[in-house]
Amino acid sequence: MTSTETVTRAEYCAIACADIFAGAGEIMASPMSTMSQIGARLARLTTEPDLLITDGEALILADTPAVGAKGAIEGWMPFRKVFDVVASGRRHVVMGANQIDRYGNQNLSAFGPLQQPTRQMFGVRGAPGNTINHATSYWVGKHNKRVFCDKVDVVAGVGWDKVDPENPAYKYLNVYRVVTNLGVFDFGGPGHTFRALSLHPGVTADEVADNTSFEVADLADAGVTREPTAEELRIIREVLDPRNLRDREVAA
Amino acid sequence: MRDKRITLDDAVGQLRSGMTIGLGGWGSRRKPMAFVRAILRSDVKDLTVVTYGGPDLGLLCSAGKVKKAYYGFVSLDSAPFYDPWFSKARTEGAIVAREMDEGMVKCGLEAAAARLPFLPIRAGLGSDVQNFWGDELQTVTSPYPDASGKHETLIAMPALNLDVAFVHLNIGDAHGNAGYQGVDPYFDDLYCLAAEKRFVSVEKIVETEQLVKEVPLQQLILNRMMVDGVVEAPNGAHFTLAGESYGRDEKFQRHYAEAAKTPESWQAFVDRFLSGSEDDYQAAVEKFAEEQA
Q: Which among A58, A61, A65 has a CA at the least distance from the CA of A81?
A: A58
Question: Residues B153, B189: contact at Cβ < 8 Å?
Answer: no
Pairs across A and B, CB distance < 8 A: 148
C-alpha distances in angstroms, B170 versus A114, A205, B220, B234?
Answer: 37, 56, 11, 9
Directed axis angle between helix B263-273 and helix B278-292, to 10°?
110
Contact at CB, A128 and B127, closer than 8 angstroms: yes
Q: Which among B26, B24, B193, B183 has a CA at the least distance from the CA of B102?
A: B26
Model confidence pLDDT, tens digit, residues B158-216? 999 999 999 999 999 999 999 999 999 999 999 999 999 999 999 999 999 999 999 99
B153/A contact by beta carbon, under 8 A: yes
Model confidence pLDDT, tens digit, residues B143-163? 999 999 999 999 999 999 999
φ/ψ of B142, rounded to 5, equals: -65, 135
Cα dihedral B22→B26→B27→B29 (10° resolution):
-120
Residues 6 or more apart whose CB falls under 8 angstroms from that of A87 comprise A129, A133, B103, B121, B122, B123
Q: CB-CB: which of A83, A114, A120 is closest to B132?
A: A114
Model confidence pLDDT, tens digit, residues B67-98? 999 999 999 999 999 999 999 999 999 999 99
Q: CB-CB: which of A120, A123, A129 is closest to B91?
A: A120
Model confidence pLDDT, tens digit, residues B94-132? 999 999 999 999 999 999 999 999 999 999 999 999 999
Model confidence pLDDT, tens digit, residues A2-47? 555 799 999 999 999 999 999 999 999 999 999 999 999 999 999 9
B147/A contact by beta carbon, under 8 A: no
Contact at CB, B125 and A126, closer than 8 angstroms: no
Q: CB-CB: which of B92, B99, B102 is closest to A129?
A: B102
Residue B138: in which H helix or E strand, if any? strand B138-141
Contact at CB, A116 and B92, closer than 8 angstroms: yes
**pLDDT value, residue A3:** 53
C-alpha distances in angstroms, A239 versus A55, A67, A70?
Answer: 16, 9, 13
Residue B282, Cβ density class (10 Å: 0-12 exposed, 13-18 middle, ≥19 buried):
middle
Question: Residues A39, A17: contact at Cβ < 8 Å?
Answer: yes
- Separation between Cα atoms, residue B238 and residue B255, nearest integer Å: 13
Question: Residues A226, A198: contact at Cβ < 8 Å?
Answer: yes
DSSP secondary structure string, A155-214?
Answer: --BPPGGG--TT-GGGTT-EEEEEEESSEEEEEEETTTEEEEEEE-TT--HHHHHHT-SS
Question: What's the average model confidence in pLDDT over A224-249?
Answer: 98
Torsion region of A65: left, alpha or beta (phi above 0 gives left; psi -120 to 50 gives alpha):
beta
Contact at CB, B87 and A133, closer than 8 angstroms: no
For residue B86, the distance in angstroms to the closest alpha carbon of chain A comes to 8
Residue A164, Cβ density class (10 Å: 0-12 exposed, 13-18 middle, ≥19 buried):
exposed
- Separation between Cα atoms, residue A93 and residue A112, nearest integer Å: 26
Is the bond preceding residue B80 a cis peptide, omega within 30 degrees? Answer: yes
SS (H, E, C) B23-35: ECCECCECCCHHH
B136/A contact by beta carbon, under 8 A: no
Q: Which chain A residues contact residue B184 at CB under 8 A?
A: 57-58, 78-79
Residue A60, Cβ density class (10 Å: 0-12 exposed, 13-18 middle, ≥19 buried):
middle
For residue B283, the distance in angstroms to the closest alpha carbon of chain A comes to 31
C-alpha distances in angstroms, A93 versus A17, A87, B190?
Answer: 11, 13, 26
Q: Which chain B residues contact residue A125 at CB under 8 A?
A: 72-73, 101-102
Contact at CB, A114 and B131, closer than 8 angstroms: yes
Please name the residue of chain A whose CA is at the shortest distance from the CA of residue B26. A79
Q: Which chain A residues contact residue B185 at CB under 8 A?
A: 78, 80
Contact at CB, B187 and A80, closer than 8 angstroms: yes
**Helix, coil or strand: residue A124:** coil
Q: Which chain B residues contact residue A79 at CB under 8 A?
A: 26, 102, 184, 186-187
Contact at CB, A164 and B187, closer than 8 angstroms: no
A1 pLDDT higher than 50: no
Question: What's the average model confidence in pLDDT over A207-234?
Answer: 98
Model confidence pLDDT, tens digit, residues A117-134? 999 999 999 999 999 999
- Position B256: which residue type? Y
Reported pTM: 0.98
For residue A121, the distance in angstroms to the closest alpha carbon of chain B comes to 6
Contact at CB, A124 and B150, closer than 8 angstroms: no
Characterize the bridge pairing of strands B195-205 and B162-172: parallel
Please name the residue of chain B whose CA is at the shortest distance from the CA of residue A85. B103
- Position A217: which residue type? A
**pLDDT value, residue A251:** 87
Please name the residue of chain A whose CA is at the shortest distance from the CA of residue B107. A83
B187/A contact by beta carbon, under 8 A: yes
Q: Which chain A residues contact residue B147 at CB under 8 A?
A: none
Question: Residues B79, A98: contact at Cβ < 8 Å?
Answer: no
Is the bond preceding residue B239 a cis peptide, omega within 30 degrees? Answer: yes
**Helix, coil or strand: residue B118:** strand
Residues 89-108 of B with CB under 8 A from A: 90-93, 96-97, 99-104, 106
Contact at CB, A117 and B146, closer than 8 angstroms: no
C-alpha distances in angstroms, A123 versus A92, A119, B120?
Answer: 21, 11, 22
Contact at CB, B186 and A80, closer than 8 angstroms: yes
Q: Which among A156, A41, A56 has a CA at the least distance from the CA of A97?
A: A156
| Mean pLDDT for chain A overall | 97
- Position A193: which residue type? T
